Chain A
Amino acid sequence: MKLQYEIQGGDFSAAGRASSEVKKTLKQLNISPQVIRKISVALYEAEVNVVAHAFKGDMKVDINPDRIFVKIEDEGPGIKDIAKAMEEGFSTATDEVRQMGFGAGMGLPNIKRNTDEMRLTSVMGEGTTLEMMVKF
């Protein structure tokens, strides 16, 4: 099963919508609640990253019988130093975003912890692509 969602940069009021939709679908497929919770965390963090940092993004979800693949591609500033971005506590979020309780530098580590595979690639000035996989 394939699903696709558009994510609008800067639109915090809609952040989490795609993650919620995927979660509902996984529930209908009777995936274990523990696995659904892991996927939900990873998807939400990925969605918020697009909202907080990029102009727009696109989430493609591919649900197989034994695993889920997700690819999130955004058009945005890109990530200068991916290893640095993966460090707990490092963030380039604006003060406005931080005041909302985002930008604590925990998003990418949360994704890493809640997925079986994660790949982050970026081209400066063009955008960032995040791929992740979780086994059911």
Chain B
Amino acid sequence: MEKVNLKQLTDDLGFACLAGESLNEVYPESAYVSDLLSDVMGKAQAGMLWVTSQIHKNIIAVASLKELSAIVVVNERTPAPELIEHAKAEGVIVLASNLPAFETAGKLYNYLDK
């Protein structure tokens, strides 16, 4: 499998980048889908993308502590400017998908499985 960087993935899947730089230096290989923060804390692995519909500030701490490669917020949900500022300060990449979680995860699964 050829490794694909996050910049390419974001462009190919039509995600928007809300926070984060140097996406071309991040190479996600898998993703985790959950809206339960302790589930992500317990089961997600470092480097994964995190697909969620949660948009409160605590997702930044979870992504940062777990060293996830990026958060993918689904369903056209718009995080508050404070969350974006917090993400930038912590160096957490936040992407947005205009599709629901199921479709977003499906697209990611096919894309990363290639």
A residues apposed to B, CB below 8 Å? 12-13, 15-17, 19-20, 23, 33, 37, 40-41, 44-45, 48, 100-102, 104, 106-107, 109-110, 113
CB pairs A–B below 8 angstroms (30 shown): A12-B57, A15-B61, A16-B60, A16-B61, A17-B61, A19-B61, A19-B65, A20-B90, A23-B65, A37-B65, A41-B42, A41-B65, A41-B66, A44-B41, A44-B61, A48-B58, A100-B54, A101-B35, A101-B36, A101-B54, A101-B58, A104-B36, A104-B37, A104-B38, A106-B36, A106-B42, A107-B38, A110-B38, A110-B41, A113-B42
| Contact, CB under 8 Å: A37 / B46 | yes
Q: Mark B52-92, 1 if CB is under 8 A from A, else 0.
A: 10101110111011110000000000000000000000100
| Contact, CB under 8 Å: B62 / A102 | no
A79: min CB distance to chain B, Å:
17
Bound-state Cα–Cα, A53 to B92, Å: 28
Chain A residues, CB < 8 A from B42: 41, 106, 109-110, 113
Bound-state Cα–Cα, A113 to B54, Å: 25
Bound-state Cα–Cα, A19 to B54, Å: 21
Main secondary structure of the interface of A (DSSP, over half): helix
Chain B residues, CB < 8 A from A113: 42
Question: In this assembly, does B103 line the interface, its C-beta being within 8 Å of a C-beta of chain A?
Answer: no
Question: In this assembly, does B21 line the interface, its C-beta being within 8 Å of a C-beta of chain A?
Answer: no
CB-nearest residue of chain B to A16:
B61
Chain A residues, CB < 8 A from B60: 16
Bound-state Cα–Cα, A35 to B35, Å: 25
A108: min CB distance to chain B, Å:
9
Not counting A44-B61, A101-B36, a sample of 5 additional A-B residue pairs whose C-beta atoms are within 8 angstroms of each other reads A12-B56, A19-B65, A41-B42, A100-B54, A102-B37
| Contact, CB under 8 Å: A12 / B58 | yes
Bound-state Cα–Cα, A106 to B38, Å: 6
| Contact, CB under 8 Å: A102 / B38 | yes
Of B38, B39, B64, B90, most buried by chain A (CB within 10 Å of CB) is B38
Chain B residues, CB < 8 A from A44: 41, 61-62, 65
Bound-state Cα–Cα, A17 to B58, Å: 10
| Contact, CB under 8 Å: A13 / B57 | yes
Bound-state Cα–Cα, A106 to B34, Å: 13
